[in-house]
Amino acid sequence: MSGEKKIRVLVVDDQRDLAEEIGNILQSDEALTVVGVATDGFDALEKMRENTPDVVLLDIRMPNMNGVVATQRIKSDYPDVKVLILTTFDDSDYILNAINNGASGYLLKDISAAALIDAVKNAYEGDTILPAKIAKRIAAAAQHVAADREIKLTRAFGLSDREVEIALMMYEGFTNRQISAALKLSEGTTRNYVSAIYVKTHTENRAEAIAAIKAVL
């Protein structure tokens, strides 16, 4: 890695010992450098003003400013910075909110050192990081929402079952990449479904389609 730019990582966790342990793991890889450790969202934003990272590894449950709010603030102030959420499976209520606020994905806290390092590198390259258990939970949440609203969308626009599912995820703020990850579709397939939704809702872009969907829900 000599001479190449290292990926700069900020680790944020209110358990400082754990944050430092994670930092040591990341620092062991020559492609990564830890530029700071923060204990909550406010601390993270302060440190980012001094030394902007490429990737923020962010605990979701923290005092003062939790990971969902911190993600929103970070992506608002630093849109190019990737945010990876550290979570336990019990935190699933937060999943949709953080992804809707721009998180690049989730890591379960029982992740191995090697997988943690790979996840940070992949997030930096633009991949969405979703463990299988979490992807399944996201898809289940989307299906639960669809159950209440699918009849309205089907009657209004004649959408297929899959188009209804994707239309509702669009309405909830999911990007094409996040829809693909949650529903295990290729991004090309997702784009095709989204294009079909534009045609059936008589719209020309995502914002118009979401407005049309909102109008009938």
The domain limits of the chain are: 7-129, 134-216
Q: Does residue 64 or residue 115 have the better pLDDT?
A: 115
Sheet holding 32-38, edge to edge: 32-38, 7-12, 55-59, 82-87, 105-108
Tell me how far apart the alpha carbons of residues 40 and 14 are, in angstroms, rounded to a whole number: 6
pLDDT at 199 over 70: yes
Question: What is the fold, at CATH topology level, of the domain defined by 7-129?
Answer: Rossmann fold (3.40.50)
Tell me how far apart the alpha carbons of residues 158 and 92 are, in angstroms, rounded to a whole number: 32
Topology agreement, domain 7-129 and domain 134-216: no
State percent of the chain over pLDDT 70.
91
Three-state DSSP at 202 gives coil
Give me the pLDDT at residue 109, please. Answer: 82
**Span 128-139, pLDDT tens digits:** 887 777 777 777
**Span 161-184, pLDDT tens digits:** 899 999 999 998 899 999 999 999
**Span 49-105, pLDDT tens digits:** 989 999 999 988 888 888 888 999 999 999 999 999 988 755 556 676 777 778 888
Give me the pLDDT at residue 114, please. Answer: 94
Contact in structure between 73 and 62 (CB atoms under 8 Å): no
Please provide the CATH number assigned to the domain covering 134-216: 1.10.10.10
Give me the pLDDT at residue 92, please. Answer: 59
Is residue 142 very low, low, confident or very high in pLDDT (cuts 50, 70, 90)?
A: low
56 forms beta bridges with 10, 83
